[in-house]
Amino acid sequence: MKKIYYCPICGRELIKSEIEGYCFQCSYCDEDFTESEVIIKTEENNEKEK
Ligand SMILES: [Zn+2]
């Protein structure tokens, strides 16, 4: 199951952080986050076929 990580401040999707000690970065807020700080959603509901 694919996980998607979102910014807890603005709700945008996060990119991987290049800063040591952080996992994710929001390019909009210019903030870095650890995995425990971010909003994690799974994609299970988007994979249903008709
Ligand atoms: Zn943000």
**pTM of the prediction?**
0.77
The Cα 18–Cα 11 span in angstroms is 20
Residue 50 lies in a domain: no
- The Å distance, Cα 39 to ligand 1 centre, comes to 11
The Cα 24–Cα 7 span in angstroms is 9
Q: Domain range for residue 9?
A: 3-45
- The Å distance, Cα 50 to ligand 1 centre, comes to 34
Q: Please, what is the average pLDDT of the chain? A: 90
Residue 33 lies in a domain: yes
Which band of pLDDT confidence, cut at 50, 70 and 90, is reported for residue 41? very high
Residue 37 lies in a domain: yes
- Give the total number of structural domains in the chain: 1
- The Å distance, Cα 49 to ligand 1 centre, comes to 32
- Ligand 1 being an ion, which residues bring their Cβ within 5 A of it? 7, 9-10, 26, 28-29
The Cα 40–Cα 50 span in angstroms is 26
